[in-house]
Structure formats: C-alpha cells, structure tokens
C-alpha cells in the first residue's frame, strides 16, 4: 500500500484554514517544528499532511491593538527580546522564553507552538518499539495508564514554559477558524485531559497572543529541571502581581493543564500555596518524583512571594 505524505506551505491564514479543512483531520500545522517533528520521529504523530505556517509573514509581527500588545504566534522565542515593549512591560515573557530548550531550539521554536506543545510523560515520549514492548497506554490508543493503572484518566504533564508566564499576565489568544476570528483567555484552551489537552477546533490557527498593557506587572519565574540547559520542565511556577494588587499564580509541569490560583496582595500566602498544592495532580511519570515536585511547589512559591513583597 502506498502511503501519501503531503507538505503544504500556505501564504495566508485563510489559505491555511482551507488546506486544513480539505485535509479532513489527517494533518498537523507546523510552526518551528521542534515539538511536532520529535513526536513524528517517535511515532506519536502520524498525520499524512503537514501544513507549514512559517511562510505567513503576518503572524511574525508584534503590534499594539488598543490596550493590548499582540505578539504574532510565529514570533521565534529568541526574537522576543528584540521587542522593547515586551522587554519593558513583560520581562517575565523573555525570562520564560529563555528557559525553553537550548539556544538552537529557541531560534526555531515559536510562541504559538510553545503554548500548544504536546503534554509529556516518561511512558509516552518513547520510541514506537519501546512503547510496543512495554504496552501502549491511554494516550497512544492503549487501554490502561501505565503510570497509575487507571483505565480512564491520563495525567500527562503540561510542559509549556511560556504559557504559565503568559497566563499570569492575563493573556488572551486570537484564534482564526472556519467560523471566523475570536479572542479568548489563554487558559480556556486547556482541558485538563492528558489525552486531548486542548479544546481548539482542529482547523483553528492561533494568530496572536495578546497581553494587557499598562498593568505594571511584577513577576517571578522559577523552573525545576535536571540540567539548566535543554531539559523540559519538572515544575514551572510564575507569580505575577499587577498595579491593583491582584496576584495570579500559575504552575506548569504538575498537572495535565496549567494550575491557576488567584489572590491579592493581602491574601494569606499559606492559603494560596495550599490551594496550588490541592489543584495539582502530579503523578510519578517523569524524572523527579511526585513528592519532590510537590515539595518544590511550596519552596518556589514561598521564594516568589518573598521576592515580590519583601525585596520589592
């Protein structure tokens, strides 16, 4: 049997959506490809058609739109630092970008691809023959979770480093799909289901990520990983405080979706930390144990509040 593989390069978002509709779900959008291509090599991504968005120049712009700074979804992580408004108003975005992978990856990887990168698990991110030998799990069409024994739930970890920073700054995403264009809160695209971690229409293109201007955010970013270069997160925490005293805590790496806790400058820190711990469903499915990562949630959050409130 001949397997047909197609590679398409649309010049506009409209064209990309049309190509997607014609590919009838058997396709994958490609931005920098640093996540998609690894998943293809491991046999976890098998679409016949790749629709490469990288020729759509309109998605590489950063521009103001009313009270928002709109960052094009195809802006490379390395290039975020070249934009003065991002550096001045949202330095944590650059810090988070800098924590992703390696310098080479950051020159190719995009913001849009980062917020949509696939959830991870030590039993899933393996070669096809490894998974075949051990047994396929719920996330790759098996019938049991190898990590927990559950026949219902997958707790693959949400690992984007950019999303926690962006969500803590009240980011929204602009989405184009066959129905038109809309803007929603970034956190609303995540489901918490490790098998299908996002609820976007399959044909939807994320065109930009919007950040609210003039909020005078102060933010603290922390990332736990085995090696300071290259490794995916085992726990990312971001705590942001705006000019009105609103506090937003966002965790990555300890649940199938970003864990979010809201509060204010006057909140009891112990209560906020307890809520964050309660909402995180970390399991033993990566290099550091669940217990260690949970202990580090408290350590990172207490350090973050110390930095925000005591050191200013």
Ligand X SMILES: Cc1cc2nc3c(=O)[nH]c(=O)nc-3n(C[C@H](O)[C@H](O)[C@H](O)COP(=O)(O)OP(=O)(O)OC[C@H]3O[C@@H](n4cnc5c(N)ncnc54)[C@H](O)[C@@H]3O)c2cc1C
Shortest reach from residue 96's CB to ligand X, in Å? 8
Helix, coil or strand: residue 89:
helix
Q: Which does 137 bind (CB under 5 to 8 A by kind): ligand X, ligand SF4, none?
A: ligand SF4
Torsion over CA: 17, 18, 19, 21 (sign): positive
Query: Of 147 and 273, which has the nearer Cβ to ligand SF4?
Result: 147
Shortest reach from residue 225's CB to ligand SF4, in Å? 19
> Across the chain, which distance is largest between two alpha carbons, in Å?
66
Among positions 148-187, residues that touch ligand SF4 (CB under 6 A) are: 154-156
User: Does residue 296 touch ligand SF4 according to CB under 6 A?
Assistant: no
Q: Which does 190 bind (CB under 5 to 8 A by kind): ligand SF4, ligand X, none?
A: none
Q: Which does 34 bind (CB under 5 to 8 A by kind): ligand SF4, ligand X, none?
A: ligand X
What are the residues binding ligand X (CB under 6 A)?
28-36, 38, 53, 73, 77, 100-101, 105, 108-110, 112-114, 116-117, 159-161, 205-206, 230, 232-233
Q: If 0-12 CB within 10 Å is exposed, 13-18 middle and 19+ buried, where does residue 60 land?
A: middle
User: Does residue 293 touch ligand SF4 according to CB under 6 A?
Assistant: no
Of 219, 220, 207, which Cα lies nearest the Cα of 111? 207
Give backbone dihedrals phi and psi of 196, rounded to 5 degrees, phi first: -125, 85
H/E run at residue 128? helix 128-134
Binding mask 231-270 toward ligand SF4 (x if CB under 6 A, else -) reads ----------------------------------------
User: CA 271 → CA 162, 252, 253, distances in Å?
Assistant: 26, 19, 21
Contact between 76 and 106 (Cβ < 8 Å): yes
Q: For 130-138, which contacts have Cβ atoms below 8 Å and span 24 or more sequence positions?
A: 131/43, 138/194, 138/195
The DSSP symbol for 119 reads P
Q: Which does 117 bind (CB under 5 to 8 A by kind): ligand SF4, ligand X, none?
A: ligand X
Q: Which does 258 bind (CB under 5 to 8 A by kind): ligand SF4, ligand X, none?
A: none
- In whole angstroms, what is the distance from residue 223 CA to residue 228 CA? 9
In the chain the beta strands, taken as DSSP E runs, fall at 6-8, 27-30, 49-52, 62-65, 68-72, 172-177, 180-185, 205-212, 218-224, 235-241, 246-252, 259-264
User: Does residue 73 touch ligand SF4 according to CB under 6 A?
Assistant: no
Query: Of 161 and 286, which has the nearer Cβ to ligand SF4?
Result: 286
Binding mask 185-224 toward ligand SF4 (x if CB under 6 A, else -) reads ---------x------------------------------
Q: Which does 203 bind (CB under 5 to 8 A by kind): ligand X, ligand SF4, none?
A: none
Shortest reach from residue 116's CB to ligand X, in Å? 3
Choose, by CB under 6 A, the member of 124, 190, 232, 300 that binds ligand SF4. 124
Shortest reach from residue 100's CB to ligand X, in Å? 4
Q: Which does 161 bind (CB under 5 to 8 A by kind): ligand X, ligand SF4, none?
A: ligand X
Expressed in angstroms, the distance from the first to the final Cα of the chain is 65
- In whole angstroms, what is the distance from residue 97 CA to residue 238 CA? 13
Contacts with ligand SF4 by CB under 6 A lie at 121, 123-124, 137-139, 145-147, 154-156, 194, 285
């Amino acid at each position: 049997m001949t397997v047909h593989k197609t590679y398409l390069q649309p010049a506009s978002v409209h064209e990309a959506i049309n190509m997607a509709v014609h590919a009838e779900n058997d396709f994958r959008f490609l931005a920098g490809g640093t996540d998609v291509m690894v998943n293809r090599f491991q046999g976890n991504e098998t679409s016949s058609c790749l629709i490469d968005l990288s020729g759509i120049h309109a998605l590489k712009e950063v521009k103001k739109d009313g009270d928002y700074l709109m960052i094009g979804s195809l802006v490379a992580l390395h290039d975020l630092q070249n934009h003065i408004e991002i550096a001045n108003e949202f330095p944590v975005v650059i810090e988070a970008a800098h924590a992703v992978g390696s310098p080479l990856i950051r020159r190719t990887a995009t913001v849009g691809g980062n917020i949509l990168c696939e959830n991870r698990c030590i039993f899933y991110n393996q070669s096809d023959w490894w998974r075949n030998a051990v047994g396929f799990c719920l996330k790759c069409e098996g019938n049991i979770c190898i990590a927990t024994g559950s026949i219902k739930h997958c707790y693959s970890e949400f690992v984007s480093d950019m999303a926690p920073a962006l969500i803590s700054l009240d980011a929204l995403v602009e989405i184009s799909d066959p129905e038109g264009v809309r803007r929603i809160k970034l956190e609303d695209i995540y489901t918490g289901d490790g098998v299908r971690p996002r609820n976007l229409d399959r044909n939807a293109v994320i065109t930009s990520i919007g950040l609210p201007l003039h909020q005078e955010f102060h933010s603290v970013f922390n990332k736990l990983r085995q090696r300071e270069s290259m490794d995916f997160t085992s726990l990312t925490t971001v705590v942001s405080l705006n000019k009105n005293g609103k506090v937003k805590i966002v965790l990555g790496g300890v649940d199938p979706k970003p864990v979010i806790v809201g509060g204010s400058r006057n909140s009891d820190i112990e209560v906020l930390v307890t809520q964050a711990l309660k909402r995180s469903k970390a399991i033993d499915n990566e290099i550091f144990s669940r217990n260690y990562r949970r202990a580090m949630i408290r350590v990172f959050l207490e350090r973050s509040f110390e930095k925000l409130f005591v050191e200013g």
